[in-house]
Structure 1
Amino acid sequence: MSEPTKLRWGVLSTAKIGRKQVIPALQKSRLGEVTAIASRDLARAQQAADGLVIGRAYGSYEELLADPAVDAVYNPLPNHLHVPMSIAALEAGKHVLCEKPIALSAAEAEKLLAAGEAHPELKLMEAFMYRFHPQWERVFELIAAGTLGELREVRGWFSYFNDDPQNIRNQSDLGGGALMDIGCYPISMARFVLGREPVGVLARVERDPRFGTDRHAAAVLDFNGGAVATLSCGTQMAPGQGATIAGTAGVLRIEWPFTPPPEDSVRMWLDLDGATEEIVVGACDKYTAQADRFAEAVLNDQPVPTPLADAVANMRVIEAALRSGESGRRVAIG
């Protein structure tokens, strides 16, 4: 029997991020195809399947997990269902790509890590798609070449405006709030760029009096060895994002660090010796790139690009930032 040449995906839920962004990207991938979609409402699943030209629709997640024609599951469910449904998928023999943030807590993320370790034949990864855009390859080329010198500070911010009480991002019991939804990106980026874990955090957190969720958070992460990260996120602010990587020799400014548009090239600016160079990186759908990298790991039985231990570490920082915001004091991490 010949080895499969494409990964057969099943999608849990008809969430907007899946319908509008990830599923079309999976359908464009070289190494994947979407064969099934599930919802707790069969009519909704069938409507999504018809609109996206997906062969099978299921009225429960369990039915999709029992489908032998599904190799891997994409899990874009609300945050509180990330871990239980990902564990259920592993136990059903499916590879899992799960949306960020991986869990509601570091302890819950560790349960998923343990479940993955109990199924070493299956691949499990958190879906931080930004890491797969080629602009980050260019960033690391500059860092490796010493162009920026010794890294001293990473800055990142991410914001949007959403005050809809029905939106899950504004529901604290479902894992809503700025740090969980978008603050996880600059935290991940700082750890990604500096290549190590922070040892402490001092944060300021403002909560919405109606929802109880954090609507704005700012933090300073201490990475020891002379490097820090200054980060902020907000869910009731004008939309925007940006990142800066500053070293002893140069500064790199990134226009679209987290959600670069798939159809357009993106820009970075390198400030070096009093001059500014614009760096342009061609268009890329980061979701398609992520899907192909994950599929390569499955089809070639290689490690996934980002092990789940990275997701657990990111959750530890998020939790520490929230504790610091409540106490107003520095919180150690680790």
Structure 2
Amino acid sequence: MKKVVWGVLSTARIGIDQVLPAMKASPLIELRAIASRSLPAAQAAAQALGIPLAYGSYEALLADPEIEAVYNPLPNHLHVPLTLRAAAAGKHVLCEKPIALSVEEAESLREAARHVRIEEAFMVRHHPQWQRVRELVRSGCIGTPRAVQVFFSYFNADPANIRNQPSIGGGALYDIGCYAILSGRYLFEAEPRRVVALVDRDPALGTDRTTSALLDFGDGRQLGFTVSTQSCPFQQVQVVGTRGRLELRIPFNAPRGGSMSVAVDETGALDGSSVHLETLPAADQYQLEAEAFSRLVRGETGPHWGLDDAIAQLRVIDALWRSERSERWEAVA
């Protein structure tokens, strides 16, 4: 396959630390340029990562005729505006999650998505551990799946950090709760019908620092999760069925290029004697994500999740915010 030429909007940490090194390692990708509102910042990132071009504005990068696809890891409130600008320039866009702050905002991407590829960057869907767990659920080895339970947390109370600024889409639900929602949607292969939320907001920052929720997927299937930006770092996903259970131990921040193992318990012995570990091939979920999107740009077939999937995510988030206000169950509509 001819390499896809990429540009990157911003020197966001997730890009510098995770996504861009993964792109550089791919034989399917030519990482041509990085842009920042500060040219020195763009130049420093380009030099550190071996990227040929640095631009001092997003507009300059989008005007580069060689760039075919753009990675957008900007703060949440800039996802839609810069995705629209990139699409208007004829660039395909892989945009960090959440793709927008509401369903209404995401709907403004509809027309652009008819002309270029636009996808929300959930790298976990490309990791072998997630794909294997879904295979195991489908196989019936744990019986009928009844519950998915997710805990995801870290500690960050810095007022200057974008994750702690509610006006630009900060807080636990937008930042990491979206992964919990995706866990249920991906493993049940269905959409929730109704949700209820319990939200604790930081009195100074205004962000949701701890959010818990229960999602009803119908037919006895439930997703329960707690996400927190002010708790010790921890993450885990449990899938419990009528006969057994599955466990992802580092579900979201799997080490780049490392192998992971899934705990499989097909009988549910309380002493853990029925648990065995299934080790999966070493993988870089960010490289796999970028390569999958590059193949779509080249017209190849393969798993993909377009704008409709991103909007389905936001329907759930919108319903959870309504539940915070109403203090009752809310339909996902």
Give the TM-score taking structure 1 as reference length: 0.96
Q: Could you tell which deviates more after superposition, 108-117 or 19-28?
A: 108-117
Q: Alpha-carbon deviation of 1:321?
A: 1.1
Kindly indicate whether the alpha-carbon contact (under 8 Å) linking 1:96 and 1:125 is maintained by their aligned counterparts in 2. yes
Aligned to 1:212: 206
Using a 3 Å threshold, how does the CA distance of structure 1 residues 26 and 14 change in structure 2: closer, same or farther?
Answer: same
Kindly indicate whether the alpha-carbon contact (under 8 Å) linking 2:133 and 2:262 is maintained by their aligned counterparts in 1. no
Q: Alpha-carbon deviation of 1:282?
A: 2.6
Kindly indicate whether the alpha-carbon contact (under 8 Å) linking 1:261 and 1:283 is maintained by their aligned counterparts in 2. no
Q: Is 1:135 matched up with 2:134?
A: no
1:159-178 equivalent positions in 2, closer than 5 A: 159-178=153-172
Aligned to 1:16: 13
The separation in 2 between residues aligned to 1:198 and 1:30, in whole angstroms, is 38
- Name structure 2 gaps, 5 residues minimum: none
Q: Is 1:26 matched up with 2:23?
A: yes
Kindly indicate whether the alpha-carbon contact (under 8 Å) linking 1:75 and 1:97 is maintained by their aligned counterparts in 2. yes
The separation in 2 between residues aligned to 1:319 and 1:111, in whole angstroms, is 16
Q: Report SS of the residue matched to 1:159.
A: strand
Equivalent of residue 96 in structure 1, options 69, 93, 108:
93
Kindly indicate whether the alpha-carbon contact (under 8 Å) linking 2:292 and 2:302 is maintained by their aligned counterparts in 1. no
- The 4+ residue runs of structure 1 with deviation greater than 2 A are 300-304
- Name structure 1 gaps, 5 residues minimum: none
Q: Report SS of the residue matched to 2:109.
A: helix
Equivalent of residue 114 in structure 1, options 98, 111, 114:
111
Q: Alpha-carbon deviation of 1:301?
A: 4.7
Q: Alpha-carbon deviation of 1:148?
A: 1.5
Kindly indicate whether the alpha-carbon contact (under 8 Å) linking 2:118 and 2:307 is maintained by their aligned counterparts in 1. yes
Kindly indicate whether the alpha-carbon contact (under 8 Å) linking 1:200 and 1:332 is maintained by their aligned counterparts in 2. yes
Q: Alpha-carbon deviation of 1:333?
A: 0.6
The separation in 2 between residues aligned to 1:35 and 1:108, in whole angstroms, is 30
Which AA in structure 2 matches 1:299? R
Which AA in structure 2 matches 1:240? F
Q: Could you tell which deviates more after superposition, 103-112 or 88-97?
A: 103-112
Q: Is 1:184 matched up with 2:178?
A: yes
Aligned to 1:314: 313
The separation in 2 between residues aligned to 1:214 and 1:114, in whole angstroms, is 32
Kindly indicate whether the alpha-carbon contact (under 8 Å) linking 1:124 and 1:304 is maintained by their aligned counterparts in 2. no
Kindly indicate whether the alpha-carbon contact (under 8 Å) linking 1:42 and 1:59 is maintained by their aligned counterparts in 2. yes
Equivalent of residue 147 in structure 2, options 153, 160, 171:
153
Q: Could you tell which deviates more after superposition, 221-230 or 292-301?
A: 292-301
- Deviation digits for residues 99-148 of structure 1, max 9, x if unmatched? 0011111111111233212x1xx211100001100112211221222112
1:249-260 equivalent positions in 2, closer than 5 A: 249-260=243-254
Q: Report SS of the residue matched to 1:35.
A: strand
Kindly indicate whether the alpha-carbon contact (under 8 Å) linking 1:216 and 1:233 is maintained by their aligned counterparts in 2. yes
Equivalent of residue 270 in structure 1, options 224, 244, 264:
264
Aligned to 1:288: 287
Which AA in structure 1 matches 2:136? L
Q: Report SS of the residue matched to 1:223.
A: strand
Kindly indicate whether the alpha-carbon contact (under 8 Å) linking 2:193 and 2:215 is maintained by their aligned counterparts in 1. yes
Q: Is 1:125 matched up with 2:124?
A: no
Q: Alpha-carbon deviation of 1:8?
A: 0.6
Q: Is 1:333 matched up with 2:332?
A: yes
Q: Is 1:237 matched up with 2:236?
A: no
The separation in 2 between residues aligned to 1:129 and 1:85, in whole angstroms, is 20
Q: Alpha-carbon deviation of 1:300?
A: 2.7
- Deviation digits for residues 11-51 of structure 1, max 9, x if unmatched? 00011111111110001112112100101111111111111
Q: Could you tell which deviates more after superposition, 264-273 or 34-43?
A: 264-273
The separation in 1 between residues aligned to 2:59 and 2:332, in whole angstroms, is 37
The separation in 2 between residues aligned to 1:113 and 1:266, in whole angstroms, is 37
Aligned to 2:32: 35
Which AA in structure 2 matches 1:97? L
Which AA in structure 2 matches 1:134? P
Q: Alpha-carbon deviation of 1:265?
A: 1.9
Kindly indicate whether the alpha-carbon contact (under 8 Å) linking 2:258 and 2:284 is maintained by their aligned counterparts in 1. no
Aligned to 1:50: 47
The separation in 1 between residues aligned to 2:144 and 2:135, in whole angstroms, is 14
The alignment yields a C-alpha RMSD, in angstroms, of: 1.2
The separation in 2 between residues aligned to 1:165 and 1:65, in whole angstroms, is 31
The separation in 2 between residues aligned to 1:260 and 1:325, in whole angstroms, is 31
Kindly indicate whether the alpha-carbon contact (under 8 Å) linking 1:267 and 1:279 is maintained by their aligned counterparts in 2. yes
Q: Report SS of the residue matched to 2:286.
A: helix
Which AA in structure 2 matches 1:5? K
